[in-house]
Structure 1
């Protein structure tokens, strides 16, 4: 394999290798279950997973993507494939973000490996993975593909147009598959690159409008149902979801090192050790310094200023939740419009900073190559190696901090060509590539160390997050209940009890409970009704963040109304509920008022009525009790896609198909584009 090919492929290998190290046993048989990550056997692909049935479409279209893969793969294999895609795409994109030709083959390859390793192995990706937010991580994986693609569109010689929109769609496909949070992240990172990478206000607005249009077109499958769902967002939840200190350096230091998640149980093992935390913060600071060096020398053409602005804005949102005035502002915005609800989870928005730091860590390796080469050149009396853009950002290819070309500085002598690429001879042919210089070897060694540093400083992510992502299998009883419900052709929803969102399941081989969103909420091809209120422990008390689903709120009121079993059953039928699934082991510890709130009238001994007016048992097992509401009480709901929702899917899928033809490829080229103002040329004449 030649050096150029190794330089291109190594970031892919680093990302895939990191995925294997992180997921470990989870790549074998069984399901990785952790908080919001609740993959199920035979994941459904139905109109409900496509966005039908009402409720806020937080899992649209990610559940549909998982269901589509589940038609050709086992459910656990589909889950493993998507998680490996996160690591592989993220590593490959981050590695290819660095410019070429700034060092010899060994130095460039090591620098790309360092950037890739940092981006796929940091506290942000570890904590979000343990929190189960795999769909959002698809958007994270797409950021290094999106940002330079937007930068090229903004910096092009001609104003952005329809053809440029076609080129942006492939870069947004990971986020489009992830859905809501993934697209929010993409907009945060992409819009500043579009606006700040363009020359002039008119072109900036046009580039921003093109990106906004593409984001909107790919967001329609979840955006249209969301606008019609009647969902609400609790402004009081801002304090519960605010970033917090998970290192000895407070909330600010935690966020700068890409940690600070609100859920203390989503922190990897050994994460808070002072020595490791200090080293991670130092590495993050080195990444920021490396990024500044890279941008000042024109190594981020078209997107340097945009990514810097996105990182600063994201960090600002995260820090806002850590102060009382900031929380008041965020709560006020959410109170004005529920669409501001995503701002409450502030730590989410340090994702662009992770990309900035990853590129900066790789740039540090490039800097080491140049510094060592300069030192070697001074000792040998030769000219120092300079990047294609000239020294300190001068000359062709330099775009400055805003991605704009500068006038090449005059020089009395030309820069010497890089020793790693050989000398031109004859008619443009290059001589045999000489061996790597001592300076290049020093830079390559530093790059290798920087590639290993993230893993060494975050050991808690290794091998299934130190066992926390060990795979488990579903008991046979769950599969039987799934078949019973799915084989019933009659319309009707499934009510999931006890009335709480998360379960402590005893399925692990080591006997420890695993906490996960109730898998029953994703088990069936019809809508599940469950309590989406979130209870968060805050010291010695438990605080409540109200959910978003109006239908769930109505069921909660039925529980509070203390109805008899007959009226309760009839009321459920009026809400379109046909089945009630009760998980016995989750209900066993409940008693008194807690049982009444979680189970309603089903908390008593007299759960069934002899005259057929109450629910009848369809399955009565050791783990699950499946009850059926009498058919005469059920008002069959219409949970199919509306015409508008179906049209939204048609537009999105059509946009993707059109873009593949318009861009000429399903892959996003990561080559650094020409400086703005350069004459374009046709590269593939036909």
Structure 2
């Protein structure tokens, strides 16, 4: 006869259940990505032995996430660091969503955990390789909870995932926590504290961004606008937490009528559930307020003196405001704002272009779909509100059943590969050279397809391999069904200068050297095309698919 767990052990298992569920969902979603090697897909590029100090060019998108990865990769292999981060996103997201549900409602906590760790928003951003943004997404529930409860130390700790993720992760988090802080009793003090803590934690990317002379092309509004990735149009896609601009980030089969209909229905039920939570919170608050007014009237009948009565009224108003649930009310505001920002690029692009033309700081609003994260959290809480008893426990499987093709690495779209030895050799040669000078990576395009990655499109790995500045073509070309090819101009001024030299007539070696370039790395076996432009360059290393030149 087996012995049942002791009460203390059972309580511990209940508390850990959402985190364990998140880890299980992470293993199911990542699948082959947890095997030996690096998971490389679009922006998700981890490299062996990443340099701790790098000269960052253009807008600091990978600050400070790359630094944290490099520090963690010093004692631990970088491929292990990547897997721990990816699994940690699922675990942190699930546990955070559950933490916003009352502790006594275990089925509801598990449903919230399952939905927040398994939905189309997370799936599409994962397939686009935006792991740093997903760190902020995973930490969002914790930040909302801390902003509602107050306390500088608690809030600072809750913002660490977003701070590591960088600018986009922090902006998405701020969209939620500022409305939450504004719903607290001491609203102005809470908002000021929230902003101050976020500003300090944002300094690693905020200072380089302000000092950078990177340009923001308004054409990016059309390139990054949300799109319909199902039969219900752009709004239907956004309400289902999809609508990402890159069609290659879609989950297999997500556009089918059946799957899209079920996702939209589940989202509608979840939004209805969240609205019920808000209504119940309002009714409960009004009931408490009526009770307080009756108690005050009965209790203060015998009191004299205007000052005492006024003081008591102020205290009662303060108390009633403190009883409100700032997490729910603030999250509702954030979800509506996030949906509005997402719709802006799709339905009012000229407004956003004008804002970016007036001040480039509005550039992060171009990819508006990222701001659906608060809506995803609101839907998780709304769906959890229906979970009761054993039926509620069965509802934990709903998110997986609604989006089954995220499993096993999105049916193989997430897989591993290892860098050929020649990449590591070139890395050692360049990083061992103390002489200053940048490295230009060719062919002149941002994303590559290599045989050794299984044909998956990835960001040029050279951008993260070397301690010196790497100049690469950060121009983005997006194919749009409605508008055709959309070209978003490179942000880095040096990249624009180098691109002009490479495209111009005659040799480019002298011009590149004058621009501060010391090395040129040619990949993909296309060296003959570029050697004519660099006749005076000295070959330093020649491998099967890589050629390193020194000017």
TM-score, normalization by structure 1: 0.71
Residue number in structure 2 paired with 1:436: none
Q: State the aligned residue count.
A: 502
1:516 aligns with 2:467: no
Q: What are the superposed Cα offsets for residues 455-496 of structure 1, whole Å, 9 maximum, x if unpaired?
A: 112122111111111101111111111111111122221100
1:317 aligned to 341, 361, 365, which one?
Answer: 341
Offset at residue 607 of structure 1 (A): 5.5
Alignment match of 2:543 (pick from 618, 621, 624): 621
In the alignment, which residue of structure 2 is the partner of 1:637?
none
Deviations for 1:586-642, whole angstroms, at most 9, x for unmatched residues?
Answer: x38xxxxxxxxxxxxx72664564xxxx2110111210010001xxxxxxxxxxxxx
Structure 1 residue 241 displacement after superposition: 0.5
- Indicate conservation of the 8 Å contact 1:111/1:444, yes or no: no
Q: How does 1:303-452 map to 2 (within 5 A)?
A: 303-323=327-347, 326-365=348-387, 369=388, 443-445=389-391, 447-452=392-397
**Which string of whole-angstrom CA distances, capped at 9 and with x for unpartnered residues, describes residues 48-103 of structure 1?**
2xxx55421110000001101110111111111111111110010001110134xx
1:487-506 correspondence runs (5 A): 487-506=432-451
Instruction: Choose from 34, 37, 46 the match for 2:41.
Output: 34
* Cα distance in structure 2, aligned partners of 1:344 and 1:53: 22
Say whether residues 1:264 and 2:206 are aligned partners: no
The aligned residue for residue 494 of structure 2 is 551
Matching residue of 2:174: 187
Structure 2 gap ranges (5+): 285-323
1:215 aligns with 2:198: yes
Q: Tell whether the 8 Å contact from 2:409 to 2:415 is kept in structure 1 after alignment.
A: yes
Distance 1:152 1:8 in 2: 20
Distance 1:478 1:220 in 2: 33
Deviation at 1:167, TM superposition (A): 2.3
CA shift digits 1:205-258 (9 cap, x unpaired): 221111000110000011001101111111121011110111111111110010
**Bigger fraction of residues in helix:** 2
Contact 2:222–2:486 (CA<8 Å) still a contact in 1? no
Mapped partners of 1:261, 1:315: distance in 2: 13
> 2:152 is matched with which residue: 165, 185, 192?
165
Tell me the residue number matched to 2:467.
525
Q: Return the alpha-carbon distance in structure 1 between the equivalents of residues 96 and 337 of structure 2.
A: 22
Structure 2 CA distance for partners of 1:64 and 1:277, relative to 1, 3 Å: same
* Equivalent residue number for residue 13 of structure 1: 20
CA distance in structure 2 between the aligned counterparts of 1:525 and 1:28, rounded to whole angstroms:
28
TM normalised by structure 2 equals 0.88
Deviations 1:535-556 (A, max 9, x none): 1112384220112111111111
Which residue, 269, 280, 283 being the options, matches 2:263?
280
Classify the secondary structure of the residue corresponding to 1:531.
coil
Unaligned runs of 5+ in 1: 102-107, 154-163, 370-442, 589-601, 630-686
Contact 1:56 1:231 in 2 (8 A): yes
Would you identify which runs of 4 or more consecutive aligned residues in structure 1 move more than 4 Å? Answer: none
Aligned-partner Cα distance in 2 for 1:340–1:97: 31
Q: Which moved more, 1:1-10 or 1:75-84?
A: 1-10
Distance in 2, Cα, partners of 1:31 & 1:534: 24
What is the alpha-carbon distance in structure 2 between the residues aligned to residue 6 and residue 361 of structure 1? 23
Matched residue SS, 2:30 = helix
Q: Does 1:174 align with 2:157?
A: no
The 1:152–1:472 alpha-carbon spacing in structure 2 relative to 1, beyond 3 Å, is same
Q: Supply the distance in 1 between the matched residues of 2:438 and 2:405 (Cα, whole angstroms).
A: 40
Aligned residues of 2:97 and 2:381 also touching (Cα < 8 A): yes
> Distance in 1 between the 2:109 and 2:435 partners?
55
In structure 2, how many angstroms separate the alpha carbons of the residues matched to 1:269 and 1:284? 19
Change (3 A) 1:522 1:605: closer
What RMSD in Å do the two structures reach over aligned CA positions? 1.6
Q: CA deviation at 1:17?
A: 0.8
